Amino acid sequence: MANTPYPESYYAASANGAPPRPALQDDVETDVCVIGAGYTGLSSALFLLENGFRVTVLEAAKVGFGASGRNGGQIVNSYSRDIDVIERSVGPKQAQLLGQMAFEGGRIIRERVAKYNIQCDLKDGGVFAAITAKQMGHLESQKRLWERFGHTQLELLDQRRIREVVACDQYVGGMLDMSGGHIHPLNLVLGEAAAVESLGGIIHEQSPAVRIERGANPVVHTPQGKVRAKFIIVAGNAYIGNLVPELAAKSMPCGTQVIATEPLGDELAKRLLPQDYCVEDCNYLLDYYRLSADKRLIFGGGVVYGARDPANIEAIIRPKMLKAFPQLKDVKIDYAWTGNFLLTLSRLPQVGRLGDNIYYSQGCSGHGVTYTHLAGKVLAEALRGQAERFDAFADLPHYPFPGGQLLRTPFAALGAWYYGLRDKFGY
Ligand SMILES: Cc1cc2nc3c(=O)[nH]c(=O)nc-3n(C[C@H](O)[C@H](O)[C@H](O)COP(=O)(O)OP(=O)(O)OC[C@H]3O[C@@H](n4cnc5c(N)ncnc54)[C@H](O)[C@@H]3O)c2cc1C
């Protein structure tokens, strides 16, 4: 069977060691079979193991092979659509519950890192940077909104203050969230896998789920084995393909690209980002960046609808980096990679159950580092019979992409072009 390695990235090159995790070759029986070893799958597995469930995780490639091992590493609170939009769509009661959970994912990450001693270069502090006065106005109302839900570690930055935290002339202001921050994403997910194993959980790599036999006693089939389980959690996100056809119509895999410069040296790194916060701008098609532990600039941006891998990533992302930091014009790019996230039309996560025993969470639409950690907790609660928080997500309405599977990519690209124009002209 093919052995799928990590894509070449800065993260793969600086990953902490991990034990071999052989492919499933038997028929096994467990309480919960988790499909996918990214943050969603492993966060679920950890919460379940901590609550006495037996868990087997099947991973098609390697732990963290998907978005969890390739992302920008930014711990961003809340969801890809904010709570006011949720409130307008589903009403105040459900919005209240979702609002209360919007900042829990970041806390879960920090608890996991502390409890399981995960070495993933965790740093506190994330900045939302406004390019236009309109975006700044939006940040001001976002701060008021988040404070309504008890999130108080926020500071508005005027033009002078934002220059003190990021050496970029584009910004008119911003907002600092000290409960945001950044991590080495692959080392976080590898640490979580080790935590799962320390509690007796079993992870099989190179073991794609190829078929789910549904029913009262569901069975997940891999090319060489089977897992019989009481429950299944589907956590394959943008890499799941058509394993669960009813989920595919309402979500679309999209690619986004990241580059890592050569190490900048302490002095230049400190000039760019003196407090070592991560930054994302407020555009619809946003740029995001931060320093790595060895002082590279990790810079991401752009979206490829339909998740085709672009031929020359550096050619797409380097100009964005130079627009923000022209002072880096002579700096070499050491790594460039792409990864897929899963977009939904509402940009809210797609959560639910199929029958009584197949649960899923996917589609957090770009901002998923915190949400996926929360999702694991909420899924585990549902399997323990406490489904109130799970249902608050499961009841969010989702609609198919216009044009179906064939035309959803051009339609979404058209939408993004429109929003890109709005960003450009500051609407
Ligand atoms: C380049 C990039 C940058 C990003 N930057 C940020 C950021 O800075 N901040 C932020 O909040 N979010 C960011 N995101 C989004 C975030 O990374 C994701 O939302 C999150 O990691 C999704 O986690 P997941 O576990 O649901 O999915 P994934 O991490 O994609 O994991 C799914 C796993 O399931 C496996 N799998 C799929 N199908 C099967 C199968 N049939 N059988 C077995 N295994 C299967 C895959 O191999 C994969 O390992 C970014 C995403 C990308 C791609």
Which structure tokens are listed for 329? 């014009």
Q: Tell me the pLDDT band of 424, cut-offs 50, 70 and 90.
A: low
For a ligand 1 pocket test, name from 341, 342, 343, 377 the mutation site with the most ligand atoms within 8 angstroms of its C-beta: 341
Tens digits of residue pLDDT in 319-350? 999 999 999 999 999 999 999 999 998 889 99
Task: Give φ, ψ of 132 to 5 degrees.
Answer: -125, 160
At 86 the pLDDT is 85
Provide the residue type at 352 as one letter.
G
Place of tokens 């038997």: 26
Q: What pLDDT does residue 4 have?
A: 84
Sequence ranges of the domains in the chain:
1-122+183-249+346-396, 125-182+252-343
Burial class (CB in 10 A: 0-12, 13-18, 19+), 71: buried
Give the residue, by CA position, lying nearest to ligand 1 atom 41.
209
423 band by pLDDT with thresholds 50, 70 and 90: low
Report the pocket of ligand 1 as residue ranges, CB < 6 Å.
35-41, 58-61, 65-68, 70-74, 76, 208-209, 235-240, 243, 256, 258, 288, 300, 339-341, 362, 364, 366-369, 372
Distance CA 56, CA 289 (A): 35
For residues 305 and 394, what is the distance between their CA atoms, to the nearest angstrom? 25
Q: How confident is the model over 76-127, as pLDDT tens digits?
A: 998 878 888 888 888 888 889 999 999 999 999 999 999 999 999 999 999 9
pLDDT at 415 > cutoff 60: no
- What's the pLDDT band for 427 if we cut at 50, 70, 90? very low
Region class of 154: left (phi > 0), else alpha (psi between -120 and 50), else beta: beta
Kindly report the protein residue whose alpha carbon is nearest to atom 35 of ligand 1.
36
DSSP H or E stretch at residue 369:
helix 369-383
409 alpha carbon, distance to own chain's centre: 21
Query: Ligand 1 test: best mutation among 70, 120, 237, most atoms within 8 Å of CB?
Result: 237
Q: Which residue has the higher pLDDT, 417 or 387?
A: 387
Query: Distance between CA atoms of 363 and 80, rounded to whole angstroms?
Result: 10
pLDDT at 61: 98
Q: 370 C-alpha to center of ligand 1: Å?
A: 12
Length of the chain, in residues: 427
CATH code for residues 1-122+183-249+346-396: 3.50.50.60
Angle, helices 92-101 vs 83-90, to 10°: value is 150
Mean pLDDT within 213-230? 97
Share the mean pLDDT of the chain.
92
B/e letters for 141-168, b = 16+ CB within 10 Å, e = fewer, are ebbebbeebebeebebbeeeebeebbbb
Strands 358-362 and 226-234: what pairing? parallel
- Given a cut of 50, whether residue 159 has pLDDT beyond it is yes
CATH architecture for segment(s) 125-182+252-343: 2-Layer Sandwich (3.30)
Q: How far apart are CA 307 and CA 289, in angstroms?
A: 21
Mean pLDDT of 204-226: 97
More confident residue, 344 or 74: 74
